[in-house]
Amino acid sequence: MSFNYIPSVDLQDFLSDDKSKREKFVREIGSAYHEIGFVALRGHFLSKALQENLYKVVSDFFALPTEIKIKYENQAQGGQRGYTSFGREHAKDKSEGDLKEFWHFGQFIQDPNKLKELGYPENVHVAEIPEFHIYGQQAYEALEKTGIYVLRALALYLNLEEKYFDDKVIMGNSILRAIHYPPIKEEPKGAVRAGAHGDINLITLLMGASAKGLQVLRNDGVWVDAIASEDELMINVGDMLSRLTNNKLKSTIHQVINPPKELWHTPRYSIPFFMHPLSSMDLTCLPNCVDSQNPKQFEDINAGDFLEQRLKEIGLKS
Q: Is residue 318 part of a domain?
A: no
- How would you classify the pairing of strands 175-181 and 254-256? unpaired
Q: Is residue 3 part of a domain?
A: no
Q: How far apart are CA 82 and CA 190, in angstroms?
A: 28
E-strand ranges in the chain read 8-10, 38-42, 82-84, 101-105, 175-181, 194-197, 203-207, 214-217, 223-225, 233-237, 254-256, 268-275
- Tens of pLDDT, residue by residue, the chain (318 residues): 444 578 899 999 999 999 999 999 999 999 999 988 889 999 999 999 999 999 999 999 999 999 999 999 988 777 889 999 987 766 665 666 778 899 999 999 999 999 999 999 999 999 999 999 999 999 999 999 999 999 999 999 999 999 999 999 999 999 999 999 888 777 766 665 567 788 999 999 998 754 567 888 877 788 888 877 889 999 999 999 999 999 999 898 888 777 667 777 788 899 999 999 999 999 999 999 999 999 999 999 999 999 999 888 877 776
| pLDDT value of position 210 | 46
Maximum distance among all alpha carbons in the chain? 58
Q: How far apart are CA 12 and CA 14, in angstroms?
A: 5
Q: Is residue 290 part of a domain?
A: yes
Domain coverage including residue 208? 8-313
pTM for this predicted structure = 0.90
Number of domain units in the chain = 1
| pLDDT value of position 209 | 55
Q: Is residue 2 part of a domain?
A: no
Torsion angle defined by CA atoms of residues 171, 173, 176 and 179, in that order, rounded to the nearest 10 degrees: 180
H or E segment at 313?
helix 303-313
CATH number of the domain bearing residue 45 = 2.60.120.330
| pLDDT value of position 68 | 97
Cβ atoms 193, 256 nearer than 8 A? yes
| pLDDT value of position 192 | 57
DSSP one-letter string for 122-133: PP---TT-HHHH
Amino acid 227 reads I
Q: What is the pLDDT of residues 127-137, one digit of tens each?
A: 999 999 999 99
Amino acid 307 reads L
Q: Is residue 1 part of a domain?
A: no
Complete edge-to-edge strand list for the sheet that includes strand 233-237: 8-10, 38-42, 233-237, 203-207, 268-275, 175-181, 101-105, 82-84
E-strand ranges in 77-149 read 82-84, 101-105
Count of H-run helices and E-run strands, the chain: 9, 12
